[in-house]
């Protein structure tokens, strides 16, 4: 398969050596010699102020450095802006066809732009594409004002959502990522946000893979303006990459959050504070190569199915099905998949009433005598209190079992 890079990258100052560097990395990674099972080298050296590599399904961290350092995120901020828009779309609070009137504040934004005009009416869908694909600061402000009435109110929504997601080293001051004091995030926090972007509203995630976006017409000629290319160069040279966001400012340096899916696995990388566009792309590809080359996933237990039936005392029913809320997946070094072991520890004294989702035990996953993951076992249905005679009989039986045990 050929992956062509539009000439407009070169016309707009994009460095073609980025593409050559990344393609070289791809060629050499595919030709790497097999290592003995379970032998994993140290993570690659990455030239950035902070970075992280995680498996998007298991959440396992495969490599990190300065992942909790508070750093300026630049336009990586727009991941949260876009997330909140897609959340409102998914909740049917707004529609993609809603018309947004562009304010003077949005129109006056500098930096990367969608090039919208003050007083113009633009659909939410077009503005969302402008945020995600061409990183429009103007589109970000316009959407923030439409959703919350003002950018300031929208920022409160951003910070509340960050807190909900456990992004403990993040604080937003605006919707675009424009440099501002007390506006920061971290590589780990942005990887958490990336998982939500991918998983929570999958019907909108495909926008992040779109390579270009065309909006507007030339007012003199009436002809459509040229398309703007997505600034994520890896979309053009690595077919497994399908997002997510670039960022740059003098304070932040060159930043990149990438998601890549291959053979049923998905990795997320966050690179913050790289030296150049070339560097953020090549350093990201190093991490992707390492993660796909040396690790694999194991589905330990399936979620939503009955894993065990346990005795319930004093209930309307004697047995209760227990299981996991979702699939339990672990990421392990390649060659160690068959060494993964799991055990279930279930409460032995379960008394009604029991509600669906109530924690009743845990699944522990072991590798080489080490616990590598745990997941709660929960009730898969509710059981109410039994009648008077059921409770009386179970009380007697329960008493004698406890006495002799």
143-157 pLDDT, tens digit each = 999 999 999 999 999
Is 93 one of the catalytic residues? no
- The DSSP call for residue 207 is G
27-49 pLDDT, tens digit each = 444 444 455 656 789 999 999 99
Bridge partners (DSSP) listed for residue 345 = 362
Strands of the sheet containing 61-65, edge to edge, are 61-65, 50-55, 265-274, 253-262, 241-249
Is 186 one of the catalytic residues? no
* Catalytic hit among 78, 286, 301, 314: 78
Global pTM value: 0.87
* Catalytic hit among 75, 144, 259, 282: 75
pLDDT of residue 40: 87
Question: Which fold, 7-295?
Answer: Beta-lactamase (3.40.710)
* Catalytic hit among 58, 112, 135, 260: 135
Q: What is the C-alpha separation between 149 and 144, in angstroms, rounded?
A: 7
pLDDT-based confidence at 262, cuts 50/70/90? very high
How many other CB atoms sit within 10 Å of the CB of residue 296? 17
Q: Which CATH number does the domain 302-404 belong to among 2.60.410.10, 1.20.140.10, 3.40.47.10, 3.30.420.10?
A: 2.60.410.10
Sort 30 into a burial class: Cβ within 10 Å, 0-12 / 13-18 / 19+: exposed
Answer whether 7-295 and 302-404 agree in fold. no
383-402 pLDDT, tens digit each = 987 555 565 555 555 655 55
Where in the chain are the domains?
7-295, 302-404
Picking from 188, 298, 283, 204, the residue whose alpha carbon sits closest to that of residue 243 is 204
For the cut 90, the answer to whether the pLDDT of residue 323 exceeds it is: yes
For the cut 80, the answer to whether the pLDDT of residue 84 exceeds it is: yes
Is 135 one of the catalytic residues? yes
H-type alpha helices, 149-185:
151-164
């Amino acid at each position: 398969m050929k992956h062509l890079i539009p000439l407009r990258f070169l016309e707009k100052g994009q460095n073609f050596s980025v593409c050559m560097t990344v393609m070289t990395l791809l060629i050499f990674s595919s030709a790497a010699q097999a290592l003995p099972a379970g032998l994993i080298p140290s993570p690659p050296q990455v030239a950035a102020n902070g970075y992280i590599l995680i498996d998007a399904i298991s959440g396992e961290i495969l490599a990190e450095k300065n992942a909790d350092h508070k750093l300026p995120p630049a336009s990586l901020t727009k991941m949260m802006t876009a997330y909140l828009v897609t959340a409102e779309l998914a909740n049917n609070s707004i529609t993609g066809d809603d018309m947004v009137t562009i304010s003077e504040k949005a129109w006056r934004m500098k930096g990367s732009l969608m090039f919208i005009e003050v007083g113009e009416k633009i659909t939410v869908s077009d503005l969302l594409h402008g945020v995600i694909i061409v990183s429009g600061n103007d589109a970000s402000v316009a959407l923030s004002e439409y959703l919350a009435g003002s950018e300031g109110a929208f920022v409160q929504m951003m910070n509340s959502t960050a807190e909900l997601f456990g992004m403990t080293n993040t604080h937003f001051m605006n919707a675009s990522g424009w440099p501002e004091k007390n506006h920061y995030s971290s590589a780990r926090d942005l990887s958490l946000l990336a998982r939500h972007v991918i998983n929570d509203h999958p019907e909108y995630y495909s926008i992040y893979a779109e390579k270009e976006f065309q909006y507007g017409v030339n007012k003199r000629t009436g002809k459509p303006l040229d398309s703007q290319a997505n600034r994520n160069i890896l979309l053009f040279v690595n077919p497994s990459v399908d997002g997510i966001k670039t960022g740059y400012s003098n304070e932040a340096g060159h930043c990149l959050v990438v998601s890549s899916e291959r053979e049923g696995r998905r990795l997320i990388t966050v690179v913050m504070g790289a030296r150049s566009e070339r560097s953020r792309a090549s350093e990201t590809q190093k991490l992707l190569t390492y993660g796909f080359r040396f690790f694999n996933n194991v589905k330990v237990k399936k979620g939503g199915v009955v894993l065990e039936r346990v005795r319930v005392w004093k209930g309307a029913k004697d047995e209760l099905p227990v299981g996991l809320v979702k699939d339990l997946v672990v990421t392990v070094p390649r060659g160690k998949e068959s060494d993964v072991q799991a055990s279930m520890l279930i409460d032995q004294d379960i008394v009604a009433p029991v509600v669906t989702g109530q924690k009743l035990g845990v699944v522990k996953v072991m590798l080489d005598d080490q616990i590598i993951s745990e997941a709660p076992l929960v009730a898969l249905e509710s059981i109410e209190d039994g009648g008077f005679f059921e409770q009386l009989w179970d009380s007697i039986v329960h008493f004698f079992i406890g006495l002799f045990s």
